[in-house]
Amino acid sequence: MEADKKMEAKGKTVSEALQKALTVLGLTEDQVDVKVVQKPEFGVLGIFGKKEAVVEVTPKNVEAGPPAEEAAVLSETPTDADAEADISEAAADRAEAEAYLDDEAEAIQTTAKQFLKDMITAMALEVAVTTDYDRNSDVLHVELAGPKMGILIGRRGQTLDAIQYLTSLAVNKTTDHYVRVLINTEHYREKRQGTLEHLAHKMADKAVRYHKKMVLEPMNPGERRIIHATLQDSETVYTYSEGHDPYRHVVIDLKENQDRGD
């Protein structure tokens, strides 16, 4: 390959840009030299000022080697230097991949913080935003703290859920994979889960006592899952959801009705 065949390629991530170039050149990664011209920048709210990754890919020159028969023999007898070179190359690849993932995690958290800062400023509130991104599970945990968190929580957490949803949209515009965003403040999520678990047991007891099914108030998918999980091992009742969002709700009914097909 000749060096003048080098090319630039763009993508949402460095990896995507590199793959585009390799496809055009018809080469593999070990047959080229790669230079990162520009790392991706996700911009304000993941929209404004966004820049794609740019890489410069140059095919490596193939130098003349020994005759084919000799090369075959040599290839079967790797030296210690070859092994050390392979180990060093693998370590360098791992370090580069780790650095890229660190940059991506930082960009995800920066996008979330900027989005929330702009939104909360518009609400004339003073709120501190802290983030923690778990790369293994692709979950971004966000904690909000300030003097008037009740406003951000809203009735039964509806405002907090809306903020979480909008932040998730902003974050996932900047990634090539889905990141789950979880926003909490003043341990509201834990308190709400405890309230729902208590409600589930209370309504299950009523279903048994009055011998009829109990219809709960409309809930979002996450809250419905808590009700289902709380009663999934019950010997007397079972649960199911009916209706359509935003009015979809959980029904708690007697297992004997389920067995009869009622």
Q: Provide the pLDDT for residue 47.
A: 46
- For residues 142 and 179, membership in a common domain is answered with yes
- For residues 195 and 140, membership in a common domain is answered with no
> 147 lies in which domain range?
104-186
- We report the CATH number of the domain holding residue 123 as 3.30.300.20
Does residue 73 sit within a domain? no
Does residue 28 sit within a domain? yes
Nearest to 176 by CA among 54, 48, 40: 40
Does residue 91 sit within a domain? no
Q: What is the pLDDT of residues 192-243, one digit of tens each?
A: 999 999 999 999 999 999 999 999 999 999 899 999 999 999 999 999 999 9
- For residues 196 and 176, membership in a common domain is answered with no
- For residues 196 and 134, membership in a common domain is answered with no
Q: What is the percentage of the chain residues whose pLDDT exceeds 90? A: 46
Cβ atoms 181, 54 nearer than 8 A:
no
Does residue 242 sit within a domain? yes
Q: What is the pLDDT of residues 61-73, one digit of tens each?
A: 755 445 555 545 5
Q: Which of 136, 151, 186 is the last residue of a domain?
A: 186
Q: Which of 58, 78, 94 is the last residue of a domain?
A: 58
Provide the domain count of the chain. 3
